Amino acid sequence: MNIILLGPPGAGKGTQAARLESDRGMVQLSTGDMLRAAVKSGSPVGLQAKAVMESGQLVSDEIVSGIIGERLDMGDTDKGVIFDGYPRTAAQAEQLDAILAARGRTLDKVIELTVDEDALVERIVGRFTCGNCGAGYHDHFKQPKVAGTCDVCGHHEFKRRPDDNEDTVRTRMAEYRAKTEPIIPIYEARGLLAGVDGMADMDSVSKAIERILDAI
């Protein structure tokens, strides 16, 4: 099964993709995570992407589609993939069709997390992750069970993303409205689109996604 999770910054794409990975053995392909790994490693892609990401704008279509194709060719995606944060432009949507067709795969569903933009800023500026295993937390919505200790791996250091500040979030949202929202009707016309209320609590969002996937 190959699905896309669509939604603006902070909609919960990463949160829900991680749950689908552990519940269904699907593989999360987050272009944001891959680009952050490239920035950290200092690779040529990372050097090109760093400043663009910190400004909240989009990295080039060629770079992100290139890393998606390479990742699919690494194997271990037989149980399916969740595209998280990709595609984000009409060109990327076309490139994804070609990438899947070349590998004998099809797109099964596009799930749009619908959210109230004002609440997203709070979600994003409160977000932090474990510095060791990457488990996600939030200042108000999901604190570690023992303060200062990761629930998953017991590590004590946490980190915040450099683009998770209010100014950059506004740019990221404007990019979403201008470049990503216009691809939603394309998938709707193909009968692939399903909407989920992303303002519900995390467990309710997960259940709604499970129901959609069970019906495929």
Q: Which active-site residues does the annotation give? A: 13, 88, 127, 161, 172
Q: Does 14 bind Mg ion (CB under 5 A)?
A: yes
What is the spatial distance between Cα 215 and Cα 32, in angstroms, rounded to a whole number? 29
Strand ranges in 24-89 using DSSP code E only, listed in sequence order: 27-30, 81-84
* Distance separating alpha carbons of residues 137 and 95, to the nearest angstrom: 33
Residue whose pair of structure tokens reads 């400004």 in the numeric block: 55
- Contact positions with ligand AP5 (CB under 6 A) in 80-119: 85-86, 88, 92
Q: Which of 58, 67, 72, 183 binds ligand AP5 (CB under 6 A)?
A: 58
Count Cα neighbours of 81 within 13 Å in the Cβ-side half-sphere: 22
Q: Strand order in 27-30's β-sheet?
A: 27-30, 81-84, 2-6, 109-114, 193-197
Binding-site residue total for Mg ion (CB under 5 A)?
A: 1
The site partner of 180 among Mg ion, ligand AP5, none (C-beta below 5 to 8 Å per kind) is none
Cα 178 from Cα 173, distance rounded (Å)? 9
Name the residue among 212, 33, 26 with its Cα closest to residue 136.
Answer: 33
Q: Nearer to Mg ion by C-beta: 8 or 14?
A: 14
- Does the protein bind Mg ion through residue 56 (CB under 5 A)? no
Residue number, 4 or 78, with CB nearest to ligand AP5: 4
Q: Which does 134 bind (CB under 5 to 8 A by kind): Mg ion, ligand AP5, none?
A: none
User: Which SS3 state, helix, strand or coil, does residue 111 take?
Assistant: strand
Nearest CB to Mg ion, comparing residues 124 and 213:
124
Residues in contact with ligand AP5, shown as a per-residue x/- string from 7 to 46 under the rule CB under 6 A = x-xxxxxxx--------------xxx--x-----------
In angstroms, give the least distance from the CB of 53 to Mg ion: 12
CB 152 within 8 A of CB 135: yes
Residue 214 binds ligand AP5, judged by CB under 6 A:
no
